[in-house]
Amino acid sequence: MLKVLTKTQDDKTLIERFNQGDENAFKILVIKHKERVRNLVAYTINNQHQADDLTQEVFIKVYKNLSKFRHEAKFTSWMYTITLNVCRDEMRKKGLKRFFNYTPIENTSGLGSFDPYERMDIKQMVQQAISQLPEKLRLPLYLKDIEGFTYEDISQMVGCEMGTVKSRLFRAREALREILKPLKDQLL
């Protein structure tokens, strides 16, 4: 029943209902957005096991602060800002310097050179290529091209001017094109 309701109710209505004491409205918000938040967390910290715990932490923070949400930005932008802050805090605790860490495949066979792209499908090749981008280019690329946020939303989430977001997105796409150029034959 709740899954059907998630598609028919907008975030603003659900937030208003929650702020009036309807706990079910928050459950619907969680169901509606859980997968996207989890994907961003997993993509950001590159740790599937920890993604569920951090996703839960994000929704705890959303729950505690939802009464303060003013509808000046989209709910998803506000929630993604919380998500990114939770990820940054976690990485800071662990002493990690980079967002979107990638664990490269190591050659453990002892058999000469090793091509990390050799056994990857297209999705893995693109993810590997994205992981090579500087971190300030990866986030706008993910938020725009994978999550579909507007430039304005991304600007609010990452805390920089819209022109900077556009510039970083352009540079990210150009860099990605260059990284993937040698793999063109494998990708087609």
* Residue 132, phi then psi, degrees to nearest 5: -85, -10
> For a pLDDT cut of 90, what percent of the chain falls above it?
41
In DSSP notation, 160-184 reads S-HHHHHHHHHHHHHHHHHHHGGGH
- Residue ranges of domains in the chain, CATH in brackets: 1-98 (1.10.1740.10), 116-188 (1.10.10.10)
How far, in Å, CA of 37 to CA of 55, rounded? 6
User: Region 91-101: what's the mean pLDDT?
Assistant: 63
Q: Quick one: which of 162, 156, 165, 166 has its CA closest to 72?
A: 156
User: Region 98-114: what's the mean pLDDT?
Assistant: 41
- Angstrom CA distances, 161 to 1, 70, 76, stand at 41, 21, 19
Q: How confident is the model at residue 71 (pLDDT cuts 50, 70, 90)?
A: confident
pLDDT, one tens digit per residue, over 124-134 is: 777 788 888 88
Joined tokens for residue 23: 């706990």
**Average pLDDT of the residues of the chain:** 81
- Angstrom CA distances, 53 to 45, 63, 83, stand at 12, 15, 12
Looking at residue 186, what is its pLDDT?
61
Instruction: Identify whether the C-beta of residue 143 lies closer than 8 Å to the C-beta of residue 150.
Output: no
